[in-house]
Structure 1
Amino acid sequence: MNADAKSLESAQDPGLPTMATPYVPPPPVGPRAHMRPLGFSDPFRWLARGLKDMRQHPGIALFYGLCFWGMAQVLALVFKHKPEYTLSLVSGCLLVGPFMAMGLYEVSRQRERGERPEMATSLMCWVQHIRSMAMLVLVLMVLELLWGRASLVVFAVFFNTGMPSTTGVIEAVFNLQNLEFLMVYLAVGGVFAALVYGLSVVSIPMILDRDTDAISAVITSLRVVFSHPGVMLLWGLLLSVLVLAALWPWALGIIVVGPWLGHASWHAYRGCVEWEENPEEAVTLGSSN
């Protein structure tokens, strides 16, 4: 039976299945993100550029540095009175820190575009991206709550007599007999820290730069991590080491290190992600020339 006969038979008998229209995917909308090639020297280059931005605008950096210092003081108080919540609060700092640093991203973004950064602009830069930021906050808050619950479970399993005091936590950490507790505690914290880091390493600067949705920003952030796991691991280690070093004594170093890493994180995003030229923008620029 030829094709015409089959078509005629289908038209005569409605019970026979008809040929489905083949699916044609829609064309891509807007420019696409591409992962730039990275080397192990790039994280140090991002730090150098961040330091230059901070030196150019010390007043703005000081304001945000004092905000980071306040966060460190809250962390110290929690460790002193409720040590079982310390690791979950660290996740909160990992959550709040990048959003607070969004103002620093804006300063670096304006400098890159040849504009003059202002304090008011850096404080209000999140307003235009409130929907995407709210969705990202929700995702990270869920991770923070899970992290806090997991920390309590670890403490409950290894300290069945009750939650230890601050002194008890310090003794547990530095006691070789509690090595199993320390390994489990750090492993649980490491998993959640890696999730938070992977989801947010470039997503917040991307939302500020491209006004994209939270899902696209998170996917791009994960693409960056999986495309260059070694470089991004080095970048995460540098961030962690510098932050930990800044916490001693009395967390005074965070006043400088916090803004420095905020500016450097913007350059990390710019160094990791490259955008295709928007065809509509290209047409507009061509017609204007």
Structure 2
Amino acid sequence: MPRTVNPSDFQDKRKEVPDNEYARTIPCNQLSVSAPFHWLSLGLHDFIRMPFISAFYGFCFMLAAVGIVLLVQWQGTHLVVMPSLVVYMLIGPFLALGLYDASWEREKGHNASLLHSMKAIGRNSTSQWTFAVFLAIAMIFWMRIAALLHVLYPSVEGAPLTEFLPFLITGSVVGFVLACIVFSVSAFSIPLMMERRVDIMTAVFSSFNAVKSNIPAMIVWAGLICGGILIGFATYGIGMLFTMPILGYGTWHAYHATIKKKH
């Protein structure tokens, strides 16, 4: 339930509010544009220090990517790509949870274990499942928008490039806007829900605020993530063995560097 607003809250804007308050925004730090490269280097360090855990989760991500590629080849159509990506959006956050937990354990000076990282799925599972479903719904919505935009696709075979421009421009703009929204609300939501057990709205608001407040750094970080995923699919999933664990660990370090810690 939302808390009751007291007049004293407006007199002291620095007043600390408990983490279990519903739908609030946790403040963020200001980041330099080079910060994402530091997160990536920390992720690589964790990858080297935890080879068994890295290999396990990297293999899981690889299997998911290979499954999508094989399904496309078997069906002989790219229409199955979007439904496969919906499934990927559902399982991806939970695989990433294990990587976040492993980095968190190392950060605390503990010995990270695969079993402990797998138990991270049980931390704040209600909010995490809700968020995974939200991502899947967002992907389905994206698919429906893409289908509607095909109205702009030229009906004549071999049409000149100028007739493709409305479809290409509109599709690119809509896709870019939706991608920015999804990235903004998901950049730090999952690790925030895992570590502090906050509700989904607090996680979404805090993530969106952090991305909005650090746009240059977030553009670089989004580019690195897209590059890692593209490398994974371009190598038929083999690259996922390396890129996804490194990006997963890096995301944890990005979260800790961006979202302000509790006092």
Q: TM-score, normalised by structure 1?
A: 0.76
Q: Distance in 2 between matches of 1:192 and 1:54?
A: 31
Query: Residue 274 of structure 1 is aligned with which of 257, 260, 263?
Result: 260
CA RMSD of aligned residues (A): 2.8
Matches within 5 A, 1:72-87: 72-80=65-73, 81=75, 82-87=77-82
Query: What amino acid is the match of 1:152?
Result: A
Q: Distance in 2 between matches of 1:182 and 1:151?
A: 11
Query: What amino acid is the match of 2:40?
Result: L
Query: Residue 97 of structure 1 is aligned with which of 75, 92, 96?
Result: 92
Query: Residue 216 of structure 1 is aligned with which of 202, 220, 225?
Result: 202
Deviates more, 1:56-65 or 1:81-90: 81-90
Contact 1:65–1:258 (CA under 8 A) maintained in structure 2:
yes
Matches within 5 A, 1:36-51: 36-51=29-44
Bigger CA radius of gyration: 1
Deviation of 1:94 (Å): 4.4
**Partner of residue 283, structure 1:** none
Query: What amino acid is the match of 1:246?
Result: G
**Partner of residue 253, structure 1:** 239
Alignment pair present for 1:24 and 2:12: no
Q: Secondary structure at the match of 1:126?
A: helix
**Partner of residue 137, structure 1:** 132
Contact 1:91–1:193 (CA under 8 A) maintained in structure 2:
no
Q: Distance in 1 between matches of 2:90 and 2:129?
A: 12
Query: What amino acid is the match of 1:29?
Result: V
Contact 1:37–1:272 (CA under 8 A) maintained in structure 2:
yes
Deviation of 1:71 (Å): 1.6
Q: Distance in 1 between matches of 2:256 and 2:122?
A: 22
Query: What amino acid is the match of 2:32?
Result: G
Contact 2:89–2:132 (CA under 8 A) maintained in structure 1:
no
Query: What amino acid is the match of 2:227?
Result: V
Q: Deviations over 1:100-139 (max 9, x none)?
A: 1110000000000111111111112121311211221232
Contact 2:90–2:135 (CA under 8 A) maintained in structure 1:
yes
Which segments of structure 1 move beyond 4 Å, counting only runs of 4 or more?
A: 25-28
Deviates more, 1:41-50 or 1:89-98: 89-98
25 and 78 in structure 1: CA distance in 2 versus 1, 3 angstrom threshold: farther
Alignment pair present for 1:184 and 2:163: no
Deviation of 1:248 (Å): 2.4
Q: Secondary structure at the match of 2:124?
A: helix
Deviation of 1:149 (Å): 1.4
**Partner of residue 59, structure 2:** 66
**Partner of residue 250, structure 2:** 264
Contact 1:88–1:151 (CA under 8 A) maintained in structure 2:
no
**Partner of residue 146, structure 2:** 151
Q: Distance in 2 between matches of 1:159 and 1:59?
A: 51
25 and 89 in structure 1: CA distance in 2 versus 1, 3 angstrom threshold: farther
Deviation of 1:203 (Å): 0.6
**Partner of residue 50, structure 2:** 57
Contact 2:47–2:54 (CA under 8 A) maintained in structure 1:
yes
Matches within 5 A, 1:109-128: 109-128=104-123
94 and 44 in structure 1: CA distance in 2 versus 1, 3 angstrom threshold: farther
Contact 2:185–2:207 (CA under 8 A) maintained in structure 1:
yes
Unmatched 5+ residue regions in structure 1?
Answer: 1-21, 162-167, 278-289
Q: Secondary structure at the match of 1:124?
A: helix
**Partner of residue 107, structure 1:** 102
Q: Secondary structure at the match of 1:274?
A: coil
**Partner of residue 22, structure 2:** none
Q: Secondary structure at the match of 1:187?
A: helix
Q: Distance in 2 between matches of 1:89 and 1:156?
A: 24
- The alignment of Structure 1 onto Structure 2 pairs a total of residues equal to 246
Identity of aligned residues (%): 28
Deviation of 1:90 (Å): 3.8
Alignment pair present for 1:230 and 2:180: no
Unmatched 5+ residue regions in structure 2?
Answer: 10-14, 20-24
Q: Deviations over 1:184-233 (max 9, x none)?
A: 33333322222221111001011111111111011100010111111111
Deviation of 1:253 (Å): 1.0
